[in-house]
């Protein structure tokens, strides 16, 4: 049983290898524009700040290592290196960890009990209308062949839009 638990833990850690998706998700957890409510974004933001503050002593302890890494990157003339993300690496990691620790469970709860059951947001309504316009343009191109008895695509779009509302 213990070996199974270790295997599960190891596989979950390997799954976190895709850091860009993880960082993007933590950014989404603190952004109201992603459709998440204050129920998720505010606690996630607070825990992110707490994680960053907790990481400051680790930044001080790790400064010889992080400064050496920064100097090595700088001497290799790597474009776009950010000294803060290198020198404050422990704080950034704990910041993201704090956001994930409270934001991910709350996001799961909000998604399961609220966002799934609510209507589309305005952004998705605009996307729907844009897709509908593209559909109309495609049908206009198809109906230019002069088929007799062809349905006007605008009438079809009005019917579909009336059903969606």
* Range of lowest pLDDT (48-52, 83-87, 135-139): 135-139
Q: What pLDDT is recorded for position 58?
A: 93
pTM of the full predicted structure? 0.58
Q: For residue 106, what pLDDT band results from cuts at 50, 70 and 90?
A: very high
Q: For residue 42, what pLDDT band results from cuts at 50, 70 and 90?
A: very high
Q: Domain residues of the chain, as ranges? A: 36-119
Q: What pLDDT is recorded for position 57?
A: 94
Q: Dump the DSSP string for 54-119.
A: HHHHHHHHHHHHHHHHHHHHHHTT-TT--HHHHHTHHHHHHHHHHHHHHHHHHHHHHIIIIITTSP
**Diameter of the chain measured on Cα atoms:** 79
Q: What pLDDT is recorded for position 46?
A: 94
């Amino acid at each position: 049983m213990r070996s199974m638990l270790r295997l599960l833990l190891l596989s979950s850690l390997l799954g976190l290898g895709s850091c860009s998706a993880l960082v993007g998700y933590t950014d989404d957890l603190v952004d109201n524009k992603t459709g998440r409510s204050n129920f998720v974004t505010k606690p996630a933001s607070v825990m992110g700040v707490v994680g960053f503050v907790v990481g400051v002593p680790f930044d001080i302890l790790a400064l010889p290592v992080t400064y050496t890494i920064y100097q090595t990157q700088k001497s290799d003339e790597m474009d776009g290196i950010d000294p803060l993300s290198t020198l404050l690496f422990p704080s950034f990691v704990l910041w993201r960890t704090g956001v994930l620790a409270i934001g991910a469970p709350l996001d799961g709860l909000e998604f399961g009990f609220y966002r799934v059951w609510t209507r589309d947001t305005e952004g998705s309504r605009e996307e729907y209308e844009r897709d509908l316009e593209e559909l109309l343009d495609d049908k206009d191109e198809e109906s230019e062949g002069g088929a007799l008895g062809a349905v006007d695509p605008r009438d079809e779009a009005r019917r579909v839009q009336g059903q969606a509302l």
